[in-house]
Structure 1
Amino acid sequence: MKKKRGTAYGVIGLGRFGTALAIALAQAGKEVIAVDRSEEKIKNIRRYTDYAFVAESLGIDTLRETGIQNCDVAIICIGEKVDVSILTTMSALELGVPHVIAKATSEEQGAVLKKLGAEVVYPERDMALRLGKKLISDNFLDFVSLSNNIEIRQIPVGKNLIGKSVQESEIRRKYQLNIIALENNSETNIEIMPDYRFKHNDIIVVIGKTENMDKFEKDN
């Protein structure tokens, strides 16, 4: 990808978090480079960005071939594999990406990534902490702002969704929102199956454009 006007993002690692992030950025009209070892994940993400690459390794030479150095922001979404996370973060920094954000799953991993020069995020930890709190004021909590009009938001399930399955709700098709977690009775689930049926007191965590979230809340 040649550098274009506007902020360009690189998303490395297409797990649930990385995939949802890449889709949200692409749907907001951002330039996105997506990189993962899985051919299936790359095939799926190509519906949203032309710049999707299968990479067997994530060293500096491989990342250079994908064009990550042309990005303004690179997000390393490989928290579970600590060694790969550190190597990939180092490679992105060495390639001169101005802003490198790395996902971490432990304080120890985060300390290493921060020392390398990356901004560190703990999505699972932060999500669990914040979902455990009472809903405030108008019954939703914005807790991550990814850009001017992309965010992750906690939204209580409305009466129009109770009893419907995730697939039947068509939240992605109708609102271009991706569910990344679900909370009920202080239990957080990040593996939401398509046949799961929404229950009373469910709270979903979605990622997407602000205006789409506002419309979803109004409709539901």
Structure 2
Amino acid sequence: MRKQFVVIGLGRFGRSVAQTLSDLGHDVLAIDRNEHAVQLIMHNVTHAVQADAREEETLRALGVRNFDVAVVAIGDDLEANILITLMLKEMGIIVVTKAQSTQHGKVLERIGADKVIYPERDMGIRLAHNLIATNVLDFIELSPDYSIFETKASASFVNKTLGELDLRKNYGITVMAIKKKEDQIVVAPGAKAVIEDKDILVFVGNKKSLTKLPN
């Protein structure tokens, strides 16, 4: 389903979000005060506008209240970040906001941000996991203790069934899906599912369970 997004703040993070959403086929309005930042992305999104998003009249004139989701990607001006988030929420929009710190994030949550993200922190966590277990391809944090991980199948798992491996008992993880060659995905695989060479496992488990898995 095609959606409409407005991305405010076109630094590296905001530009990446805006361009990716556009590449995925959605309408994107990109806003920044800096003319050069707008020029860098103007050919890669639906609309790119040089404007001061701290002005409520400007946001209303651009029709921002009609968009499905707003992403506030401003990171270097906390006051602007908070003010814009507040105005957008008063307009009744779903708002995803970038936070610089936990304290900043708490303020954003208090004023109604629907989702607060910490790009630098999350990248640091991802890097740490990759350093600990080199077969980790990606992960999604569900809580401080549990995450969804995507890993290359260990050589010791190859040609064995999930029943034989009994990963829940031996490693405390539950396999949600197996990504096969040629983009085939086996969702909720049963005990008879066989792990093949170069398979990728998608599982949920405690973060500590990751260190128990063989490489």
Q: So what's the TM-score if we normalise by structure 2?
A: 0.60
Unaligned runs of 5+ in 1: 145-153, 155-213
Which of 85, 105, 123 does residue 89 from structure 1 map onto? 85
Whose RCO is larger (CA < 8 A, sep 6+)? 1
Pairwise CA distance, 1:6? 2.8
Aligned to 1:44: 40
Worse-superposed segment, 50-59 or 63-72: 50-59
Aligned to 1:116: 111
Q: Equivalent residue of 2:74, what SS?
A: coil
Contact 1:104 1:110 in 2 (8 A): yes
The 1:91/1:139 distance shift into structure 2, 3 A limit, reads: same
Pairwise CA distance, 1:57? 4.6
Query: Are residue 72 (structure 1) and residue 74 (structure 2) matched?
Result: no
Pairwise CA distance, 1:79? 2.4
Give, in whole Å, the separation in 2 of the partners of 1:133 and 1:139.
7
Query: Are residue 140 (structure 1) and residue 133 (structure 2) matched?
Result: no
Q: So what's the TM-score if we normalise by structure 1?
A: 0.59
Counterpart residue identity of residue 12, structure 1: I
Give, in whole Å, the separation in 1 of the partners of 2:119 and 2:19.
17
Query: Are residue 126 (structure 1) and residue 122 (structure 2) matched?
Result: yes
Contact 1:80 1:104 in 2 (8 A): no
Greater Cα radius of gyration, structure 1 or 2: 2
Pairwise CA distance, 1:46? 1.1
Report Cα offsets for 1:11-61 as digits up to 9, x if no partner: 000011000000000011101110001111111211112311111352221
Q: What root-mean-square deviation, in Å, do the aligned CA atoms of Structure 1 and Structure 2 show?
A: 2.5
Pairwise CA distance, 1:117? 0.6
Give, in whole Å, the separation in 1 of the partners of 2:26 and 2:53.
25
Give, in whole Å, the separation in 2 of the partners of 1:41 and 1:114.
28
Give, in whole Å, the separation in 1 of the partners of 2:52 and 2:69.
22
Pairwise CA distance, 1:139? 4.1
Contact 1:11 1:32 in 2 (8 A): yes
Query: Are residue 30 (structure 1) and residue 52 (structure 2) matched?
Result: no
Q: Equivalent residue of 2:130, what SS?
A: coil
Percent sequence identity over aligned pairs: 39
Pairwise CA distance, 1:70? 1.4
Aligned length: 143
Report Cα offsets for 1:74-104 as digits up to 9, x if no partner: 010112211000111011112221x101100
Give, in whole Å, the separation in 2 of the partners of 1:127 and 1:142.
11
Contact 1:59 1:87 in 2 (8 A): no
Q: Equivalent residue of 1:78, what SS?
A: coil
Contact 2:2 2:25 in 1 (8 A): no
Query: Are residue 103 (structure 1) and residue 98 (structure 2) matched?
Result: yes
